[in-house]
A and B are shown apart, each in its own frame.
Chain A
Amino acid sequence: MTTKFFGEPVRRREDARLIIGQGRYLDDIGSGAYAAAFVRSPYAHARVLDIDVSAAMDVEGLLAIYTYEDLTGPLAEPLPVLIPHPQLTAPRTGYPLVKDVAQHVGEPIVMVVATDRYIAEDAAGLIEVSYEELPVVVGVDAAEAAEHTVHDDVPDNIAARHHQETGDVEAALAASAHTLSFTQYFERSASMPMEGKGVHARWDDADSSLRVYSSTQASTSVRAAIAAKLELSMEKVEVIAPDVGGGFGVKIVHPWPEELLVPMAARRLGHEVKWTEDRREHFISSAHERQQRQEITVGYDDDGRITALDVLVWHDNGAYTPYGIIVPINTATQLCGPYDIPVYRARVNSVYTNTVIVTPYRGAGRPQGTFAMERTMDRIAQALGIDRALVRERNLIQPDQFPYDWGLTFQDGRPLIYDSGDYPAMMAKLKVLVDWDGFAERRAAAEARGKLLGIGMAPYVEGTGPGPYEGAHVQVLGSGKVLVSTGLTSQGQGHETVFAQLAAAELGVPMEDVVVTTGDTRRFGYAVGTFASRAAVVSGNAVALAARGVKEKALRIAAEVLEADPADLEIDEGLVQVKGTPGASIPLRTVAVLSNPLRYAFDEAARQATQFSGPGDDSKPPVAVGDAPGLEHTDYYSPLRSTFASGAHAVVVEIDPATWEIQIEQYAVVHDCGTIINPMIVEGQVHGGVAQGVGGALYERMAYDRDGQLTNASFMDFLMPYASEVPDVDIDHQSTPSPLNELGIKGAGEAGVIPGSAAIASAIEDAVGRRIAAMPISPTELYDLVRSDAERVTNSSPHDSGAMA
């Protein structure tokens, strides 16, 4: 690999297009399409008794009304359980349209199609549904109490009991010098991409084929789902993810009801149909994440070294479990972070509630796990009167302990083995970056201004780049243009740039010549999807392998022309040349032309490849046995296991005791994602993650009331931080390449969000001296907390306990 583009802060090539309004998002497609709107359940739990559409029938422009009764074949069956698991003993999924009982506010009951969305909403407003209201379960506590049930046939409301352990935790706790037990809560938030979901479908009656555009993170799998549910053969279905305005996890779930119903309607009506989710729909009918109650018991010695950790988590999975127990598994297996914990047990009870489903949102169970672990570290430090950083340092896995085998099973079904890392060095960098040891002075200066200053830190480890595989196709055209395509999708991460960097670096061509296409099943049919910080790791390596295959072929063909040994050739700036022999060269685009022996010359370049253009070798066929025409190659990368990225955040908060406003004074990040392809993009990912971490810690929550109504289902009351609320981020990088893939890459997509709540809770607790046992926290809640009888806590400064090190 040449290093020309690899590792460089190349500017994102997609930005100009997206920023000046030339992105092509779902709603930009199909201006002539019919529009769909939905009647959604206004109740959190209700039996549908009757649907009266008569008043809607007179609306001019109405084209169709569909209810469950109109669904046929596999469409009338429950939606798939995408990721089955033996411990998911009571999986439940909904139907594309409610069959009998609506399980949360927002579940779709009736689909209306009209000539435009205005009319579709007019008609939807005239449809009268009568309901029998049923008792509602909201929150993990109510779910556990099981006084009422969500699903009749799941009497304890427990969908899954996920259980993993590395030893006899009870014995280890009993043998520990000290133990601590406590309970804490983590609230719901959501991915909240700026672009909601959306589906556009066009049915070609003559060809009996379907083209679907969906704002999805998994176009290949959406395609398979549509084919199965609509009983079409795969080759008759194409699914394309156009520009996608953010995903953050919510768009990995599929098939959403609308992804099936819109194509169904397009086929039945013989016309393009489109549905663009509006913000209220996104709030009440997409997915949320993060609510958990965590019951933690830890055993530790006099130095604060953990001897045993036992965690029982009550995890709110919402009304259904289409995405299995991935989030609980992530919490259970990623909770311990960078620490060497001799005996560990995690039990996660995943419970049903009458709320929107819970599926991965950037971080996917890890922010909660990190919250559990890091709050535990703070408590141990406080109990022993040791500096919080020191307690963490004493528990870190050391560089010589890699590969570190936990004896647990990760979310990809493979052993949880940390591949590489250097956690002590990472913590040392963090302490310098935030000046941990000099904090006392800063605090004193703030106190003199009447402000409370606090500092907190939280490291984490993130399993990234899980399999099973991704692939890539790389092709050099006769024009010199290099096409790269992956089935894996993009939602703004910068794949167009990074994959181009990889291909350009591997092939030796200018980046401008490389064109990247992602998430279009017409171009690449095999893929898994964009989630779990896996695109750079899995697709990145696939792109490099595919480009390498192209290069090998190019050198082979060029070697014949140049009468040289392929091993003596190199490609630079799109020119194949004999190393050290200037002039002995052939442009890669000419090699591409020659790679495809032609009969017909349709342009000047093509002439060179026709049968009379020069002396050929009459003893061989024009295309050698085992070879193929064209300068292209498809390759796949299937990782053995996940790679484990790591990082550590530290945050300084300033609190005004006259208003209890919480201001982030400093936010410091040390980040290790192995070998970096593009540091600018990695930093962008970290910035975005931190923004979401800050949002989850201080602003966002899903305010369900006891009736299961989401009382803040708009951007007026669901407070995503604006740019003005997001702190500047001080970033330092560290690189411990992954030994598992040739490029040494680990994932970076989710990292920034993971430790936000843990670090911010620690800093606020440090500032106000009161125990924080629930996140997020707002000024009004902080005011309540300081006036309550919440436990008083004091942190030791590094200088108090430094001597014990």
Chain B
Amino acid sequence: MKPAPFGYADPTSVDEALDVLTSEGEGAKVLAGGQSLLPLLSMRLAAPSTLVDINRVPGLDQISAGPDGVRVGALVRHAQLLASSEAAGVQPLLGRATANVAHPAIRNRGTTVGSIAHADPSGEMTAVLALTDGSVTVATPEGRETIGWGDFFLGPLETSVHGPAVVLDAFFPALPERSGTAFAEIARRKGDYAVCGAGVVVTLDADRRVSSARAAYLSVGLVPEVHDLTDAVVGQPVDTADWTAAGELARGLVDPDGDLHASADYRRLLVATLTARTLADAGAEAARRTA
């Protein structure tokens, strides 16, 4: 379990990083927290020719929370986001989901943007980016562009960004008015990747009736999935909404695979259960915010 030989560069600016990525070509890989990449190297499942370590690039470790949303820089560690009350104030899902990412030691090193760039459909933050309808900012030699989550995630561990590129930040839009969120997951052991997880947003109308209910799941598809469950509960008073029906609707919408830890059927059951539970919590929060 020792990596194959690789080159190493530690640029001190984004442009320099892009230069190295360009000159090294295909075989070069960005190294952020290393919590996903280094195990792959050690098991020789990946053998990049050069690691472009962006940890010394200044300015990428900022969280900026504004009325529109939260921008999370490429070097913001999971632990930093988890601790940010400003971020949680604007988009409570950030803290709630991050608390489920791995264990403290990994959260201290691993980055939120790295987890999104890694595009693991069992990652919490990919699901949250999708659920909040977020986007990423990508720097390439041609310039910077914003890519919405739907265009970014193509498949497991696959994004639409090819060639030399650094994801500079991820942007998570703010929680809308009269809305509430919740996040829950089931893992075999505490801190493991979830066998199934759900994040939800419920929005009410001024009469505290459900106007929208949406859910994103992890570990149920090849890319993060967002499902609109509004039909099951639309117009229902939040206190008596039939969240179980929404869970059942979701169960029919997902098409998970089975693996060693969970059959496809079991995942569907968890989708139904977690959906109903998180919607109830999110509904209650939305009600509190719709005074």
Contacts and interface: CB of A to CB of B under 8 A. Distances in A.
Interface of A: 117-118, 121-122, 125, 278-280, 658-661, 699, 703, 711-712, 714, 717, 719, 721-722, 724-725, 778-780, 783-784
Contact of A122 (B5, B266, B273): B5
B46 to A, nearest CB: 14
A310 B262 CA distance: 36
B189 A725 contact: yes
Contacts of A117: 2
A279 B1 contact: yes
Nearest to B103: A722
B187 to A, nearest CB: 10
Contacts of A724: 189-191
24 contacts: A118-B5, A121-B2, A121-B44, A125-B44, A658-B269, A659-B273, A660-B269, A661-B186, A699-B188, A719-B188, A719-B192, A722-B191, A725-B189, A725-B190, A778-B261, A780-B261, A780-B262, A780-B263, A780-B266, A783-B263, A783-B265, A783-B266, A783-B269, A784-B266
Interface in B232-291: 260-263, 265-266, 269-270, 273
A699 B195 CA distance: 14
B3 interface: yes
A784 B4 CA distance: 43
B83 interface: no
Nearest to B42: A278
Contacts of A717: 260-261
B3 A118 contact: yes
B43 interface: yes
A683 to B, nearest CB: 24
Given A659-B186, A784-B265, 4 more contacts: A122-B5, A703-B260, A719-B261, A784-B266
A494 B127 CA distance: 47
Nearest to A35: B2
A659 to B, nearest CB: 5
A118 B2 contact: yes
Given A659-B186, A719-B189, A711 B260 contact: yes
Contacts of B269: 658-660, 783
Contact of A280 (B3, B43, B189, B262): B43
A721 B189 contact: yes
Interface of B: 1-5, 43-44, 186, 188-192, 195, 260-263, 265-266, 269-270, 273
Nearest to A712: B260
Contact of B1 (A280, A699, A711): A280
Contacts of A721: 189
A539 to B, nearest CB: 36
Nearest to A720: B189
Contacts of B263: 780, 783-784
Given A661-B186, A780-B261, A278 B5 contact: no
B191 A778 contact: no
Contacts of B273: 658-659
A722 B266 contact: no
The 3 closest A-B pairs by CB, nearest first: A724-B190, A780-B266, A278-B1
Nearest to A122: B4
B112 to A, nearest CB: 21
A724 B187 CA distance: 12
A517 to B, nearest CB: 32
Contacts of B188: 699, 719, 778-779
A30 B190 CA distance: 37
Most buried by B among A714, A721, A783: A783
Nearest to A657: B273
Nearest to A116: B2
A118 B43 CA distance: 12
A152 B4 CA distance: 39
A699 B262 contact: no
Most buried by A among B188, B192, B261, B262: B188
Contacts of A711: 260
B75 to A, nearest CB: 25
Nearest to A718: B260
Nearest to A721: B189
A37 to B, nearest CB: 8
A659 B5 contact: no
Contacts of B270: 659
A125 B260 contact: no
Contacts of B5: 118, 122
Most buried by B among A121, A280, A659: A659
A125 B4 contact: yes
A122 B273 CA distance: 48
Nearest to B196: A659
Contacts of B43: 280, 714
A275 to B, nearest CB: 13
A712 B188 CA distance: 14
A660 B2 CA distance: 39
A113 to B, nearest CB: 15
A485 B267 CA distance: 56
A267 B270 CA distance: 59
B230 to A, nearest CB: 23
Contacts of B192: 719
Nearest to B1: A278
Contacts of A714: 43
A784 B268 CA distance: 13
A118 B273 CA distance: 47
Nearest to A277: B1
B215 to A, nearest CB: 16
Nearest to A784: B263
Nearest to B267: A780
A660 B268 CA distance: 13
Nearest to B262: A780
A121 B260 CA distance: 29
Contacts of B261: 717, 719, 778, 780
A569 B186 CA distance: 67
A699 B4 CA distance: 33
Nearest to B277: A658
A786 B56 CA distance: 54
B101 to A, nearest CB: 15
A661 B188 CA distance: 9
Nearest to B186: A659
A554 B259 CA distance: 68
Contacts of A660: 266, 269
A786 to B, nearest CB: 11
A699 B186 contact: no
A339 B186 CA distance: 41
A463 B3 CA distance: 46
A312 B190 CA distance: 39
A724 B189 CA distance: 8
A298 to B, nearest CB: 34
